[in-house]
Amino acid sequence: MASSVLEAAWTAADFEDRLRRIGRERYHDRHPFHLKMHRGELSRRQVQCWILNRFYYQKNIPIKDAIIVSRLRDREDRRRWIHRVVEHDGAGGDEGGIEAWIKLGEAAGISGATIQDESNILPAVQFAVDAYVNFCRLKTVEEAVAASLTELFAGALIAQRIEVIEKHYRWIKPEGLDYFRRRVSEAPRDARSALEFVLRNARSRQDQEKAVAALKFKCDVLWSLLDAVELACSES
Amino acid sequence: MASSVLEAAWTAADFEDRLRRIGRERYHDRHPFHLKMHRGELSRRQVQCWILNRFYYQKNIPIKDAIIVSRLRDREDRRRWIHRVVEHDGAGGDEGGIEAWIKLGEAAGISGATIQDESNILPAVQFAVDAYVNFCRLKTVEEAVAASLTELFAGALIAQRIEVIEKHYRWIKPEGLDYFRRRVSEAPRDARSALEFVLRNARSRQDQEKAVAALKFKCDVLWSLLDAVELACSES
């Protein structure tokens, strides 16, 4: 990346295209475990294993988002980011995304106590998620925001996931799907706002390349999570 | 403090009393500059100097509060804390505390551009405020919350400050006082919630002593801010 200091910045359109290309090439919708999930080929135990371990990612989202808020020097940028924390933690009568994921677990036969017991989480899942939180803490805030851009690719996948569960995994009670219903609209809106921030702030070629690398890193986090779940919860 | 490991914890009442005593002994309402302010003895230039430099503290409040949110592992605790960030940064139609302080500056004849230009802030003020933000980042989250307990002492002082300005500094336009009007009710409510957290989480004698030290540290921050303003903006 050192050589990029002297290279011309990409145009905004070219930069955005390079970010979107990462989704097509590396987003976890292409992971074998995910493909099996969407073809209806996972056992009940495998789906439970995924819900349980993915919860560790979910519960860390408001933490990494509060870190990002604390690192944004501009008040307007903080105002645009903080609703993410509120939407995951809940506020007033709204239960929030974390509670909704716990209800997904319950709808799939996992008790609230089990899902919230961190000793049930696979070490490799913890390492991957902790790596993401630390990335947001230690890299530039532009890189932290760029890492969130997997949400650009999440909207379509989540909508599809609702259909998949309703079709193939009917033993999951329908009220468990609220989490995904929330995210169908939240994820694309959050992604637009984050993309606007990245395009506005990563202006040099070097910063643009760092943003691309951050998004690849985040895809690796999500991919590793599925690797760990697939390895630990295979049926063979 | 090492010896305290073996000592019995204070009762909640005793612990709270020790925290409150710090306010009586070390809160910045006892600082000479503050006493002069409340006796109406400050010049226009001195009041402006205070408003300008105190802004650097104000603008860092939501940042330190987002840091605290990011360090609270319990969702309920985060829910109880995050409104502080929103109240300072504003949301939707509400301008927020930082904007209200900028308006105080304008009501006192300081342009918004001047107040927001960090090169106008005294170095010692920056060091003190940055020390507070880093304290919240690097110490335990219980210590960070304990440091916020100067709010226990703020309510009465702020109410008094409104009267003082209306009486002695009538050249400050009345609309500039909105910031203080907001804080008269917000500060005691925030302090109660933070005190409850500290009493609940600092249970060993060692943790209680750390909380006391954190509150002393925070009093030193506020005191140093006034020292710097008094030294740099004296009329003699």
A166-184 residue pLDDT tens: 999 999 999 999 999 988 8
What are the φ and ψ backbone dihedral angles of B94, each rounded to 5 degrees? -80, 125
In angstroms, the separation between the Cα of residue B19 and the nearest Cα of chain A is: 27
Q: Do A70 and B86 touch (CB under 8 A)?
A: no
How far, rounded to the nearest angstrom, does the alpha carbon of residue A90 sit from its chain's CA centroid? 18
Q: Is B77 near chain A, with CB under 8 Å?
A: no
Interface with chain B: mutation pick from A69, A98, A133, highest number of B CBs within 10 Å: A69
Q: Is A184 near chain B, with CB under 8 Å?
A: no
Spatial separation of the C-alpha atoms in residues B131 and B221, rounded to whole Å: 8
Spatial separation of the C-alpha atoms in residues B72 and B79, rounded to whole Å: 10
Q: What's residue B55's pLDDT?
A: 98
What SS3 state is found at A82? helix
Q: Which residues make Cβ contacts (< 8 Å) with residue A188, sequence separation at least 6?
A: A151, A152, A154, A155
Is the pLDDT at B235 greater than 80, yes or no? Answer: no
Nearest CB to B69 within list A66, A91, A99: A66
In angstroms, the separation between the Cα of residue B223 and the nearest Cα of chain A is: 25
Is the pLDDT at B4 greater than 80, yes or no? Answer: no
Spatial separation of the C-alpha atoms in residues A180 and A185, rounded to whole Å: 9
Rg of chain A on CA atoms, in Å: 18
In angstroms, the separation between the Cα of residue B8 and the nearest Cα of chain A is: 31
Residue type, A168: H
Per DSSP, the residues of chain B read -GGGGGSPPPPHHHHHHHHHHHHHHHSGGGSHHHHHHHTT---HHHHHHHHHHHHHHHHHHHHHHHHHHHH--SHHHHHHHTHHHHHHH-BTTB--HHHHHHHHHHHTT--HHHHH-GGGS-HHHHHHHHHHHHHHHHS-HHHHHHHGGGHHHHHHHHHHHHHHHHHH-TTS-GGGGHHHHHHHHHHHHHHHHHHHHHHHH--SHHHHHHHHHHHHHHHHHHHHHHHHHHHHT---
What band does B185 get if pLDDT is binned at 50, 70 and 90?
confident
Q: What's residue A236's pLDDT?
A: 57
Q: Can you tell me the ipTM of this complex? A: 0.90
What band does A93 get if pLDDT is binned at 50, 70 and 90?
confident
CATH class of A2-232: mainly alpha
Query: How many C-beta atoms surround the C-beta of residue B73 within 10 A?
Result: 10
Spatial separation of the C-alpha atoms in residues A172 and A137, rounded to whole Å: 36
What SS3 state is found at A117? coil
Q: What's residue A234's pLDDT?
A: 84
State the DSSP code for A91: B
Nearest to A45 by CA among A174, A158, A169, A167: A169
Mean pLDDT of B139-168: 95
pLDDT tens for each residue of B75-131: 999 999 999 999 999 988 888 999 999 999 999 999 999 999 999 999 999 999 999
State the DSSP code for A94: B
Nearest to A220 by CA among A17, A21, A22, A48: A22
How far is residue A13 from each of residues A19, A151, A195, measured CA to CA in Å? 10, 18, 12
Contacts of B59 in chain A (CB under 8 A): 75
Is the pLDDT at B236 greater than 80, yes or no? Answer: no
Mean pLDDT of B4-8: 80
Q: Which two tokens stand for residue B136?
A: 């919240």
Judge contact between A88 and A65, C-beta under 8 A. Answer: yes
Is the pLDDT at B164 greater than 70, yes or no? Answer: yes
Q: Which two tokens stand for residue B145?
A: 């919350």
Is the pLDDT at A141 greater than 90, yes or no? Answer: yes
How far, rounded to the nearest angstrom, does the alpha carbon of residue A47 sit from its chain's CA centroid? 18
Spatial separation of the C-alpha atoms in residues B106 and B4, rounded to whole Å: 49
pLDDT tens for each residue of A188-223: 899 999 999 999 999 999 999 999 999 999 999 999
Nearest CB to A69 within list B66, B79, B96: B66
Domain boundaries along the sequence of chain B: 2-232
